[in-house]
Structure 1
Amino acid sequence: MFSKKKPLNPQCNEYLPSMENKALRHTQTNSRSLLSRDKTLEGVKRKVDYKELKGKDLSTAELAKKIEQLEVNLAERERQLLEKELLVDQVTRLSKPLSEQADNCQEDRLSLAKKLNELRTNIINTNHRMMAISAELSMKQAAALSLQQQIKEKELQMDKSQRRLEQGLSPYPEKEEEWRKMLQDKKRRQRDKEEKERLAEKEWRQLPNGEYTTAEARPNAYIPLNAQLPLPKPYGAQAPFKPSQPGTNMRHFRKPELKSIEI
């Protein structure tokens, strides 16, 4: 009868999927290689496209002649190169003392550069000052022109006022009232001055010794009350003084009230 298959080892069961994957990949790789080989064979059988260049090849004699010409040109270039090298050497030999002299004059160059910078700074500052002075001069000229215009206007106005004064009119028609008030004030001041002079002449008086004074006369003698004859008697050294006028501080004092005397 039929015999039963023996079960596989469990470890073999684990490797079965990986083996199947490897076989599948191998089959795919073989198919790709076959396709690429077919394409290569097709490319070999295909005709190659090319482009033919026009012209003709030179002969051996022509090539030799051309080579000789190139050698002549090369020799000429080498000769020119040697001449230039000699010229460079000569220029270098002549410029070497100048370079040494320039190196020795380094300090002089620095000092000259500093002086040049100072002079440049002074020139810039001088230019700024000149610009400021020119601007100020322009302002002064404009002010002078305006003042000259005002002077001309005032001169014309003065001539006009002078002519009106000669005619007996006020200098300015628009200020006639002020002119009238000014004349009245002038007359009033003249009258006050004359009045003061007149009063001053009256206040002056002559003393017994011949001098003139404006001081108020004070008594230098008195008449005794009990004297038989009313003859004045001089005060002497202890003459009474005249009380001064009460000042403004008297307003702070109350005036005393006189009480009536009852007998």
Structure 2
Amino acid sequence: MLMNNAREEEIRTLRIKLADLYREVEVVRQSVPKIKELEEQLEQMTEDIDDERWKVEVLENDLTNPKNPYRWRLIKRTTAGRDFPAETENTMQSVKGTTQASVLTPRIRSGVDGPSDEFLHLQQRCQELEERVNAINERIREKDLILEEVTELSSRLSDQAKTGREFTLALAKQVNSHHSSIRAKTRQMMATVSELSVFQASAIQLQQDVQRLEGLVEEAERLMEQGEAPFLEAEERYLREVEAKRRHASISRRRKEVEAELTAASAGLVTTAEQRPNAYIPDDELGVPKPYGALVPFKPTPTLQSSRFYRGQVEGHQSREAQPRLGNSKVPVDQVSSRRFHAFKGPNHLSVTH
């Protein structure tokens, strides 16, 4: 139970740490600006600047290209009986700014009495185009400044985002490690709970066994106080033990009697067996015999003859001669021959009939 409480306390602590980590991750996410929106705004501004630059380039090419028929026209007009000089017309077609127009104006006035309406219209048109170009250049410079600022901000934000990603990755790894540790602790706790349930079941079973045995002991004590057997098999077991002790005592007694008889027989035994020496006389001055001990001389066994008997030709002839003499007797021939053999052989051939 104490182990289970400790596991629950550890799980609660890990859950609190996990909630703190989630809170830190959420704070970091809120502190990081909206990078995606800023990147989209930067991309839109870059596209606008590219469009404006393209327009300026097109307008500049149209203004500086003398082969463009839509930006100039040839003026053929006479004033006070004089033709308009061609050199002055070509110079007017290549006008780009107010400075060049102011330089050309005295030349035109020196050649004629006064400027024509078309020249004034062209001059006004050039001024308008220059103003438009200047306005477009100002817008381009503003866009460039904005682009530089946005680029700097985006670089800072990208650095912050990279730092935030690294921090978020570290936090995610830590969260994953805590998740894995929580899962491991949960599995371990489940295993501990299962072991605890098994131990509780075994403890209940053992408690029941103890109660049953206590009841048996009380019943046995009560029966013994009454002079009876403590349980049903006690008397039979007691009788078996008494019988076993009696048999053991009788066997021991018989063994002792046999040993006593053997000892008495060996003391007055008369035998024709060859006596084996158990001592030797050393080569010294005293000549006192010494026992062999464990190194008694070995006496080899005599070589035995073959125990199988082969009947010879003479014995076979004698058995055939004895058959008509027997007549109607039912004695087998082998027994007759064997009897003759035993009768013929002496005691020296006893080893053959073993």
**TM value normalised by structure 2:** 0.29
TM-score scaled by length of structure 1:
0.38
Q: Name the one with the larger helix percent.
A: 2
Larger RCO (CA under 8 A, 6+ residues apart): 2
